[in-house]
Amino acid sequence: MLELFRPEVQALVAYHTPAVPGADKLNENEWPTDLPDAFKQKLAQTLEQEILANRYPPANPERLKAGIADYCGVTSSQVALGNGSDELIRAIITATCVGGQGAVLSAEPTFSMYRILAETFGVPYVGLERRESDFGFEPDTLRDAVRKHNVRVVFLANPNSPTATLLSEQILETLRSLPVITVLDEAYFEFSGFTSVPLIGTWPNLIILRTFSKAFRLASFRVGYAIAQSEVAQLLEKVRLPYNLSAVTQAAATLVIENRDVLLAEVPALLQERDRLIESLSPWLRIWPSTTNFFYARCPNWDLETLRLALAEQGSLIRVTGGGMRISVGTPEQNQRLIDNFARVLGKTSLSY
Ligand SMILES: *Cc1c(COP(=O)(O)O)cnc(C)c1O
């Protein structure tokens, strides 16, 4: 029955996050609270009064692109839009490697969609190993792997998920000197405050990916964007699906980007929560420094899957990946529950913060 389906697709392990109703979701790095009421009301009004359900949405959402261009300090022609940044990762692989044109490289552990999407196209995937001390890797290792495996595109999340670390200046310089397309995935830019967008003018093979799924609270609507030199952005626009963003998604993203100051004003408080959470859990866990809205930890002498299940039973969902735990910062209440649940599971006395 399945013999007409490609073996590499049959061998894939689909992206999956277990759902537990009512539990605190600290496992997908989302913003912990919904869009503010005023935003949702405005969006409902747009849906009722402006969006025609029977018509295709605008094929080229100019106002949204203009808002993103203004936010990033580029021109609208340098922006490509995707149904989540996942669609743009796929568009980049479609436009570069499909048809035996070269391999995709990243550094593990990292966001699994780079590997999964490469594999769905039968494109070879090379995963460099990161050092355990700081999750960096050597420029020479990168250079050698690019040459040896005919790498055409390098995907690096910056900051990386799950490790929450930034790339070194040395690695960025090495990438720039290599004959590859470098994709820096800045899904967490609003938390890290670090961006490579200013390099685009002098780096034709650079593509920056961003998303509305994290600090902008639109994970449910699926919208991401790429920033690159205009010629590159236009190539990506050609390989995406027509009408990839629904009219409702376009309206939500436009509303959010035009009123971003309200949403971004809440980022510092979340980062403060992160620091307090890390401080409270540090006596029990090995935690790596974080530049974003989640952190990476290990727990000596514990099987992490056992630990994850025990925490889930207590009502706190975390993600186990790459040999460690990735924990998103929640609301202050969710964070306190996480501390209490760790205390209960590990048999420690809870510290309150
Ligand atoms: C969350 C995340 C994204 C966002 O993907 P969307 O498809 O835009 O929701 C992209 N890259 C990384 C590394 C992420 O962690």
- For 327-350, give the DSSP string: EE---HHHHHHHHHHHHHHHT-PP
What three-state secondary structure class fits 227?
Answer: strand
Pocket test for ligand 1, best of 30, 31, 86, 227 (most atoms within 8 A of CB): 86
Alpha carbon distances (Å) from 39 to 35, 216, 257, 258, 260? 6, 11, 11, 11, 11
Which atom of ligand 1 is nearest to 214's Cα?
1
Mean pLDDT, residues 96-102 taken together: 91
Amino acid identity at 168: S
Other Cβ atoms closer than 10 A to 331 = 13
pLDDT of 58-78, one tens digit each?
989 999 999 999 999 999 999
Closest C-alpha residue for ligand 1 atom 10:
187
Question: pLDDT tier at 351 (50, 70, 90 boundaries)?
Answer: low
Atom of ligand 1 nearest to the CA of 223: 8
Which ranges of 5-112 does DSSP label H, i.e. alpha helix?
Answer: 7-10, 37-49, 62-72, 85-96
Predicted structure pTM score: 0.95
Q: Is 70 exceeded by the pLDDT of residue 139?
A: yes
Q: What is the mean pLDDT of residues 80-92?
A: 97
Q: Per-residue confidence at 11, pLDDT binned at 50, 70, 90?
A: confident
Distance 86 CA to ligand 1 centre (A): 7
Q: Is 48 exposed, middle or buried (0-12, 13-18, 19+ CB in 10 A)?
A: exposed
The closest residue, in CA terms, to atom 11 on ligand 1 is 187
Pocket of ligand 1 (CB under 6 A): 29, 84-86, 111, 157, 161, 185, 187, 211, 213-214, 219, 224
Give 347 Cα–ligand 1 centroid separation in angstroms: 35
Q: Is 138 helix (H, G, I), strand (E, B) or coil?
A: coil
- pLDDT at 15 exceeding the cut of 80: no
The predicted pLDDT at position 8 comes to: 81
Q: Which whole number is the average pLDDT over 94-122?
A: 95
- Name which residue sits closest to atom 12 of ligand 1, judged by CA: 187
Contact 109, 163 (CB under 8 A): yes
- For ligand 1, pick from 117, 161, 183 the residue to mutate: most ligand atoms within 8 Å of CB: 161
- 185 residue type, one letter: D
Tokens 């967490």 belong to 188
- Among 213, 227, 319, the mutation site with the greatest number of ligand 1 atoms within 8 A of its Cβ is 213
pLDDT over 90 percentage in the chain: 89
**290: Cβ–Cβ under 8 A, 6 or more apart, which residues?**
164, 274, 278, 296
* First and final C-alpha spacing in the chain: 58
What share of the chain has pLDDT > 70, as a percent?
98
Q: Where are the beta strands (DSSP E) in 77-169?
A: 79-82, 103-108, 125-129, 151-157
Q: Are 174 and 154 in contact (CB under 8 A)?
A: no
**With contact defined as beta carbons under 8 Å apart, do 9 and 118 qualify?**
no
Mean pLDDT for all residues in the chain: 95
Q: Distance, CA 332 to ligand 1 centroid (Å)?
A: 24
